[in-house]
Chains A and B, each alone.
Chain A
Amino acid sequence: MEKTRKLNFKGSVLLLASLLLATPGYTQDTTPKLSDPEVAHVAVVANQIDIDYAAVAKKRSKNGEILKFAQTMANDHAAVIEQAAALAKKLGVTPKDNAVSKQLLEGAEKKQKELRALSGKAFDKAYIDNEVAYHQAVIGAVEGLLIPETENAELKSLLKNVLPALKAHLEHAQMVQKGFGASE
């Protein structure tokens, strides 16, 4: 289990990286590989995915700690989307579909299917394991790819502002995960 999770995480980061590198039509260091509208869309999608995971948890979990965590994820990520949408509107930017956002969605659909097949403690454990891995991957993508790719200063600063919340979510998820790990 542990091994699979690590492989999945590593896989998704590698996938993100290779997608970005493979995106055609840009010269290496002058032009960003993702345009700002694309970065904005990736940010919205990445947040929406965690809201969707939370919705699955609300249906499938009966554990108070998991339910409260899921509710916080739903609230916080919705707040980030609201901010991103407001900024996009202000900047006159229409978030744009792209290879990275599509790949994120595909991965999330697969994971959701897996989660929906589980219940009880097995679900809780799988959900929180995924929350840890997902937040790690998103933090990696925001720090390593999205922030560097962003040209607009306000979009960049929004992404930077979101990082502490993502990191707090990760630590929180790891705390909850420890509780589940102990009983296995």
Chain B
Amino acid sequence: MKNLYGVNRLLPIILLAGGMVGGCGLKSAHTPLRVEITIQQMQFTPSEVEVYMGDTVVFVNKGIVTHDVTGEAGEAWTSGPIPAGHTFELIAKENLPYYCSFHPTMKGSISVLPKND
């Protein structure tokens, strides 16, 4: 199931901004958002998110053990260990299919949409 987090959260903010600035409106580059992914019960939730380029993705480890976020692609990028109770942030730049290198059964993906300006 795709999660259109970015889009859902974007609307009220655009409307609000449009109202306040009055006019420069709906087509302006959107304010970067923060999208949260919870790590709990040995799962990334939601496991699939769609965000806009420049949005911040925050991983929140609410579990009991240390996890990480490691890119599936060749030269594996990794967040490094994220201990229980800690968070890790990244700025979305490109699609990122990822897994946890400590627990390879844990997987997820971030799809990045270009900025609509």
The segment from A4-12, A114-122, A160-168 found at the interface with B is A160-168
Asked whether A75 and B65 contact (CB < 8 A) given A164-B41, A165-B42, A167-B42, the answer is: yes
B residues 37-71 touching A (CB-CB < 8 Å): 41-43, 63-66
Q: Report the Cα distance A164→B106, complex, angstroms.
A: 11
- Interface contact A165-B65, CB-CB below 8 Å: yes
Interface residue? B14 (CB, 8 A): no
- Interface contact B65-A76, CB-CB below 8 Å: yes
CB distance from B72 to the nearest CB of A (A): 15
Beyond known contacts A72-B102, A79-B84, A171-B105: 12 more, CB 8 A cutoff:
A72-B103, A75-B66, A79-B66, A83-B64, A161-B41, A161-B64, A164-B42, A165-B65, A168-B42, A172-B103, A172-B104, A175-B104
Asked whether A79 and B64 contact (CB < 8 A) given A164-B42, A165-B42, A167-B42, the answer is: yes
- Interface contact B105-A172, CB-CB below 8 Å: yes
Complex interface: chain A residues within 8 A of B105 (CB)? 168, 171-172, 175
Closest 10 CB pairs of A and B: A164-B42, A168-B42, A76-B65, A164-B41, A72-B102, A171-B105, A79-B65, A168-B103, A168-B105, A79-B64
Majority-rule SS of A interface residues = helix
Interface residue? A80 (CB, 8 A): yes
Q: Report the Cα distance A100→B55, complex, angstroms.
A: 52
Q: In this complex, what residue of B is CB-closest to A176?
A: B104
Complex interface: chain B residues within 8 A of A164 (CB)? 41-43
CB distance from A41 to the nearest CB of B (A): 19
CB distance from B34 to the nearest CB of A (A): 26
Interface string of A52-82 (1 = CB under 8 A from B): 0000000000000000100010011001100
CB distance from B77 to the nearest CB of A (A): 17
Interface string of B96-117 (1 = CB under 8 A from A): 0000011111100000000000
Q: Report the Cα distance A75→B42, complex, angstroms.
A: 15
28 contacts between A and B (CB under 8 A): A68-B101, A68-B102, A72-B102, A72-B103, A75-B66, A76-B65, A76-B66, A76-B102, A79-B64, A79-B66, A80-B64, A80-B65, A83-B64, A161-B64, A164-B41, A164-B42, A164-B43, A165-B42, A165-B63, A165-B64, A167-B42, A168-B42, A168-B103, A168-B105, A171-B105, A172-B103, A172-B104, A175-B104
